[in-house]
Amino acid sequence: MDITKMPLSGKTRKEHDLLGELEIPEEYYFGVQTMRALDNFHISRVRLCMYPYFIKALAMVKEAAAKANRDLGEIKPEVADAIIEACHEVEQGKLDAQFVVDMVQGGAGTSTNMNANEVIANRALEILGHKRGEYQYCHPNNDVNHSQSTNDAYPTAVKIALIFQTTDLIASLKELIGAFNAKGIEFADVIKMGRTQLQDAVPMTLGQEFDAYAANLAEEIDRLEQNARLLLEVNMGATAIGTGINADPQYSQICIKYLREITGLPVQAASNMIEATNDTGAFVIYSSAVKRMAVKLSKICNDLRLLSSGPRTGLNEINLPPMQPGSSIMPGKVNPVIPEVVNQIAYKVIGNDLTVTMAAEAGQLELNVMEPIIVYSILESIVMMENGMNTLREKCILGITANKERCRDMVYHSIGLVTALNPYLGYETSTELAKEALATGKGIYNLVLEKKLMSKDELDNILRPENMVKPRKFLRK
């Protein structure tokens, strides 16, 4: 539900910030700074609530901070406990609709951080028995944001969210790989022509082609996991620029210890907090891993579109499941809409990666204020890739069938077949066969028999799928 469209009673509470007072609808858990952001940033129209892992990670960061501040005597135990309870509710998704600021915002993420601070503070006030907005009992800045800055809380939450999101992304990737592997087994005996530069090359099996797709994507699991590990280094306790101003000397260590317990992740403090606060290199390399996977997946989808092209005037080696009518003017036309949409997802991911690169480069001095567009770009890429892979698997790969006879006929009529005969007939003879086949339109198979270069049994033995698609010893006459 979009909180900004929910029915309102008309009752309000007054809240103030350095710019003055605002009337806040009574139903809202967020407060004055979130309202400012709502007014200022009508940019992407994509709100924080679209990314639940990000909201969960923000709450985990605030919970760890509250526990550290309680242990250090920085905030009252009862206030800390209320904040922690409120954080648990946010982590469970109970207040997702209250996270309303636009993902694209100025201020280096301050609006996002304050959205979390205000929601958690107002829910904690209710837990303490007070009304929303009675910040003298639990304040968004003084209590929920105690010992923190946007500049350490925000990027730490982002990194945790990306790690959580990566787990789902890899799960979808593994399922897609499994689907390609299953087709590799199913098509293991379907002989076909391999192609290089869109020209006939040498025979292979359709199963080998699909096995290669699976292997191509399987490489990305290690790459994603490796790059995600770079996100485990966080700057909690750095506060504004990395010096730790306004935080207890022990705060960072205690906070990160709690963060490990809450998230279940082996997060650790950056060795240099100033560097960690201004550098976004981990986001750049992570984004590049998502882009690499998108490029590979798009190449595979290009292949699927080519292999299924036709059906009468194209390759027509495989059939993609028909998902919808393909034309408003051409009756009977069915298009490869699922590979097409995955191609388009890949283009968006590639563009997002460029955005991340440029935003990372734009950082100045002790802070990169462009982090919100980095965050939005990477999260959007991950979610689109996850949805795209699930769609490709469910609506395309699982339903692919092979046109076995079509594949075999093209092998037998292909000029490329002569390569398989080259070890037996020699390069010169094979070249002459290829030239004659091109000139006359005859198939290599028929020409070999016609010229009595081999017996049918010899030729059939050489051209058996198991003899053409892997290395083997041979004896030249």
Query: Which CATH architecture describes the domain 3-146?
Result: Orthogonal Bundle (1.10)
Can you give the pLDDT at residue 473? 67
* CA contacts within 13 A on the Cβ side of 100: 24
Location of structure tokens 């984004």: 287
Can you give the pLDDT at residue 325? 82
Can you give the pLDDT at residue 5? 67
Would you tell me which CATH number, out of the four given (3.40.50.1860, 3.30.420.40, 3.30.70.20, 1.10.40.30), belongs to the domain 415-468? 1.10.40.30
Q: Where are the domains of the chain?
A: 3-146, 153-193+205-238+272-403, 415-468
Flag whether pLDDT at 150 surpasses 60.
yes
Mean pLDDT of 36-58: 94
Q: How far apart are CA 176 and CA 166, in angstroms?
A: 15
Mean pLDDT of 335-352: 95
Flag whether pLDDT at 367 surpasses 80.
yes
Instruction: Provide the Cα torsion 100, 103, 106, 110; round to 10°.
Output: 60
Q: How far apart are CA 284 and CA 165, in angstroms?
A: 16
Do 415-468 and 153-193+205-238+272-403 fall under one CATH topology? no
Residues 6 or more apart whose CB falls under 8 angstroms from that of 143 comprise 75, 79, 83, 121, 124
Quote the tokens at residue 405.
């006879």
Mean pLDDT of 427-454: 88
CA 372 to chain CA mean position, Å: 17
Q: What is the pLDDT of residues 98-132, one digit of tens each?
A: 999 999 999 899 999 999 999 999 999 999 999 99
pLDDT grade for 330, boundaries at 50, 70 and 90: confident
Mean pLDDT of 394-412: 94
Whole-structure pTM value: 0.91
Mean pLDDT of 64-90: 98
Q: What is the fold, at CATH topology level, of the domain defined by 153-193+205-238+272-403?
A: Fumarase C; Chain A, domain 2 (1.20.200)
Burial 178-187 (b: 16+ CB within 10 A, else e): ebbbebbeeb
Flag whether pLDDT at 464 surpasses 80.
no
Flag whether pLDDT at 458 surpasses 90.
no
Mean pLDDT of 138-150: 97
Quote the tokens at residue 236.
């909690």
Flag whether pLDDT at 291 surpasses 90.
yes
Can you give the pLDDT at residue 379? 97
85-99, 211-225, 394-408, 435-449, range with the lowest pLDDT: 435-449
CA nearest to 149, candidates 109, 120, 115: 109
Instruction: Provide the Cα torsion 43, 48, 51, 57; round to 10°.
Output: 140
Q: Which CA distances in Å does 4 have to 7, 15, 27, 96? A: 9, 18, 10, 13
CA nearest to 50, candidates 389, 382, 388, 395: 382
Flag whether pLDDT at 324 surpasses 80.
no
Burial 359-388 (b: 16+ CB within 10 A, else e): bbeebeeebbbbbbbbbbbbbbbbbbbbeb
SS (H, E, C) the chain: CCHHHCCCCCCEEEEEECCEEEEEECCCCCCHHHHHHHHHCCCCCCEHHHCHHHHHHHHHHHHHHHHHHHHCCCCCHHHHHHHHHHHHHHHCCCCHHHCCCECCCCCCCHHHHHHHHHHHHHHHHHHHCCCCCCCCCCCHHHHHCCCCCHHHHHHHHHHHHHHHHHHHHHHHHHHHHHHHHHHHHHCCCCEEEEEECCEEEEEEEHHHHHHHHHHHHHHHHHHHHHHHHHHHEECCCCCCCCCCCCCCCCHHHHHHHHHHHHHCCCCEECCCHHHHHHCCHHHHHHHHHHHHHHHHHHHHHHHHHHHCCCCCCCCCCEECCCCCECCCCCCCCECCHHHHHHHHHHHHHHHHHHHHHHHHHCCECCECCCHHHHHHHHHHHHHHHHHHHHHHHHHCHHHCEECHHHHHHHHHHCCCHHHHHHHHHCHHHHHHHHHHHHHHCCCHHHHHHHCCCCCHHHHHHHCCHHHHCCCCCCCCC
Can you give the pLDDT at residue 203? 87
**Residues 236 and 153 sit within 8 Å (Cβ to Cβ):** yes
Mean pLDDT of 9-19: 88
Flag whether pLDDT at 472 surpasses 90.
no
Can you give the pLDDT at residue 381? 98
Q: How far apart are CA 65 and CA 84, in angstroms?
A: 9
Q: What is the pLDDT of residues 163-193, one digit of tens each?
A: 999 999 999 999 999 999 999 999 999 999 9
Annotated active-site positions, please?
327
Q: What is the pLDDT of residues 240-286, one digit of tens each?
A: 999 999 999 999 999 999 999 999 999 999 999 999 999 999 999 99
Flag whether pLDDT at 88 surpasses 60.
yes
CA nearest to 143, candidates 224, 67, 42: 67
Mean pLDDT of 330-337: 81
Flag whether pLDDT at 4 surpasses 70.
no
